[in-house]
Structure 1
Amino acid sequence: MAPRETKRAETPLSCASPTGVIEGYASLFGVADNGGDVVMPGAFARSLARRGASGVKMLWQHNAAEPIGVWTSIVEDRKGLRVSGRLDLSVARAREALSLLGSGAVDGLSIGFRAKRATADKSTGLRRLHEIDLWEISVVTFPMLDQARVGALKQDRRPRQRASALLRLKAQQAARNFQRQLAFYRAQSQL
């Protein structure tokens, strides 16, 4: 039996839906990731037919003890593996994930899978994944696939704009406080 593997795909989010709904690409076809793997079109088809979206877990950082929501839609399109899901905001870690996604501190998606059928390209050193048994997709800090992206669903821009303005004001205030403290310590050191 092939070992379980994980692949991370970058998902920079400057915001996330206040209801915890996220969408994007967990994997892209024909693009080499930082581990030297290339997922081929159709690689997820059998697994998705067998499991469906409800059979693929949404985890935090690949930790099976920390499910944070559910994937409501997982489909292969021409670009890659398109996912939509909902964070379970009754779970503390999911609320933390939503906050981190919204601030951009966490910006990755990663697939957990078993390679069922793969070929090695000796000339490039790449492994081409032709069939994947997908069992989880995680929200992660460090993605493996730089080109994949996620965006928020049903985003109401007004609360985000207010929140962004508030964050800017807090950052400006923190910078002013730091400047004052720095000036105070410099004055003290000159006495």
Structure 2
Amino acid sequence: MKLEIKNINEDGLFYGYASTFNEIDLKGDIILPNAFKAAIRDFSDIDMLFQHDFGIPLGKWIEIEENNVGLHVTGKIFKNLYMGEEIYNMIREKKICGLSIGFKPIMYETDGNVRRLTKIDLREISIVRFPANRSALINKVES
């Protein structure tokens, strides 16, 4: 997926996939469609973090929805916060473009070392350098 930089008035917005379905990640997890359904009904308590650091939220999620590819997100980085401007600029320069989810598994099946997740409690979504799900990427930034 290619990162697109787009010039519009709303500063700090970006779009991407926090997770994709039916794809094994580096930790041996496969997330199945509808696994996020209950968790994203009210996503106001799902934090935006950097590298899964719970210190200070980096921004907020404007939209989180499941589609046929995975968990599509629209986020806004608080550029006036510590590290906000720096991280946003690194995304724009394509130095950081990964997304990663922090979650608690609710329902799953195991097959050897692979875990098929059918229901999860989504706790946070982080901007990361190296996502466990290699397709979980920011694919558009507005500047």
TM-score by length of 1: 0.68
Larger radius of gyration: 1
Structure 2 match to 1:42: 34
> Aligned Cα RMSD in Å?
2.0
**Structure with bigger RCO (C-alpha 8 Å, 6+ apart):** 2
Equivalent residue for 1:140, pick from 128, 134, 138: 128
Q: Distance in 2 between matches of 1:106 and 1:118?
A: 31
Q: Distance in 1 between matches of 2:137 and 2:72?
A: 10
Q: Distance in 1 between matches of 2:92 and 2:100?
A: 18
Shift of 1:153: 4.8
Q: Distance in 1 between matches of 2:88 and 2:39?
A: 28
Structure 2 unaligned regions, length at least 5: none
Q: Is the 1:16–1:101 Cα contact (8 Å) retained in structure 2?
A: no
Letter in 2 for 1:28: T
Q: Distance in 2 between matches of 1:90 and 1:101?
A: 16
Q: Secondary structure at the match of 2:27?
A: coil
Q: How does 1:89-100 map to 2 (within 5 A)?
A: 89-100=79-90
Q: Distance in 1 between matches of 2:89 and 2:70?
A: 27
Shift of 1:146: 1.1
Equivalent residue for 1:127, pick from 103, 115, 123: 115
Tell me how many residue pairs correspond in the alignment. Answer: 141
Identical aligned pairs, as a percentage?
34
Residue deviations 1:45-96, cap 9 Å, x none? Answer: 11112xx231211011111113110001001111110000101111131111
Higher helix share: 1
Q: Is the 2:6–2:142 Cα contact (8 Å) retained in structure 1?
A: no
Q: In structure 2, do the counterparts of structure 1 residues 35 and 46 end up closer, same or farther at CA, with 3 Å as the change threshold?
A: same
Higher strand share: 2
Structure 2 match to 1:79: 69
Structure 1 unaligned regions, length at least 5: 1-10, 156-191
Structure 2 match to 1:88: 78
Shift of 1:13: 3.9
Q: After TM superposition, which residue ranges in structure 1, 4 or more long, deviate above 3 angstroms?
A: 11-18
TM-score by length of 2: 0.89
